[in-house]
Amino acid sequence: MHTTPDEHIRHLRPRLRTRTILFGVLLCLFAVVLLLASRQVALTKTGLPTETHPSLLGDRDDVEVMRGRLDREPYRTWERRLLAQADAIDTDVNVSEVEIAHRAKALAFAFSLYGERRYADKALRLFVRAKRPSCGGKWRELDEVVAGAADYALAYDLMAPHLRSNQPLDTKMRMFIDELAGTLYRERYVWPSPGGDTREIRQACALGLCALAIRGAVSSHSQPGPRAWYTRARRQLTTAFEHQICRDGGYAEGPGRHFEAAEVYLPFFAASKQVMGEDLLTGERWGWHLGRNYVRLDPAERVAHILAVVAP
């Protein structure tokens, strides 16, 4: 039976509602990053730019720009939802490892935007609880690692300046992100499993976010480090997108899978532009692809996409 794009979204919304809140904030920050001028990138001995924080979705100045947009839509709506979520988080409740990562990211965003100590304290309490996601089944467990790695990379980037006064926890989080990235670098999905290329895209972008979040880490001679992670992520991402973006710009696995992919590839694209000076949203096919698929999201997300592309 044929279903319209709107029916697809209505079917997906109950499962994705909470994830949409932070996805919206990511799009808002992505809009800021896309408007930045190209920057000179100084490489360190790791082969990646000097590590600073925050830097993945923007620096301190970009956060100030973001704050200045919170009095207009769609930013105002996302602000209310984000703060409601952050205020409601109980750091002692028993939830999954992936949910802990998701909540830590929400609190990190709230702290970066408002600087309120209560958000930072709650985020750090969740950092203390952080551990590798574990779920039965080869591809299901890797799904959990991908989701947790992406969230922790973004959360750590936002919280790193605050962690300077807590060196043991800072060291723990850097080692933890290194562990997650190592898993993403070594492990591959075992086929057949649903959502093939979408999973590859999410894995590649999560690996890339980890690489850029702790890019100052120096790897040993026997172990790959951030430069190798980032190189693998870019190569894997290119291959997966070549399979998914059709000649007419559509996403082969459909709007639901595209939403899942975009949750991770949008922040990675923003981080690549911000840190590496690489604009991964170039080319005519990309333009058609984004235009075709983002109109299938709800109105607030469509507005954010338009702002990301054309806002002055």
pLDDT tens digits for range 27-42: 555 554 444 434 444 4
Extract long-range pairs of 144-147: CB within 8 Å, 24+ residues apart. Answer: 144/96, 144/97, 144/98, 145/180, 145/183, 145/184, 145/187, 145/206, 146/184, 146/199, 146/202, 146/203, 146/206, 146/264, 147/98, 147/101, 147/102, 147/202, 147/206
Token output for 51 = 């590590």
d(CA 190, CA 192): 6
- Structural domain including 182 reads 5-310
Mean of pLDDT values over 248-265: 81
- Give the CATH number of the domain where residue 278 resides: 1.50.10.100
Instruction: Answer whether residue 132 shows pLDDT above 70.
Output: yes
Q: How high is the mean pLDDT of the chain? A: 77
Place of tokens 């649903």: 194
Mean of pLDDT values over 203-228: 88
Alpha helices in the chain (DSSP H): 5-34, 60-68, 75-88, 97-114, 117-129, 138-163, 167-186, 196-213, 226-244, 254-271, 284-294, 299-310
Judge whether 305 and 294 are in contact, CB under 8 Å.
yes
Instruction: Answer whether residue 159 shows pLDDT above 90.
Output: yes
What is the structure's pLDDT at 194?
Answer: 58
pTM of the predicted model, to two decimals? 0.80
What is the structure's pLDDT at 220?
Answer: 57
Cα-Cα-Cα-Cα torsion 136, 138, 143, 148, nearest 10 degrees, comes to: 70
Place of tokens 């911000």: 274
Instruction: Answer whether residue 246 shows pLDDT above 90.
Output: no
More confident residue, 189 or 97: 97
More confident residue, 151 or 302: 151
- Each residue's pLDDT tens digit, 36-77: 434 444 445 557 899 999 998 888 888 887 788 888 887 788
For the chain, the domain total comes to 1
d(CA 97, CA 8): 29
- Going 200 to 258 to 240 to 269, the CA torsion angle's sign is negative
d(CA 251, CA 20): 19
Give whole-number Cα distances, 309 to 54, 79, 81, 190, 306, in Å: 23, 21, 24, 36, 5
What is the structure's pLDDT at 312?
Answer: 28
* Residue 159 exposure: Cα atoms within 13 Å on the Cβ side: 34
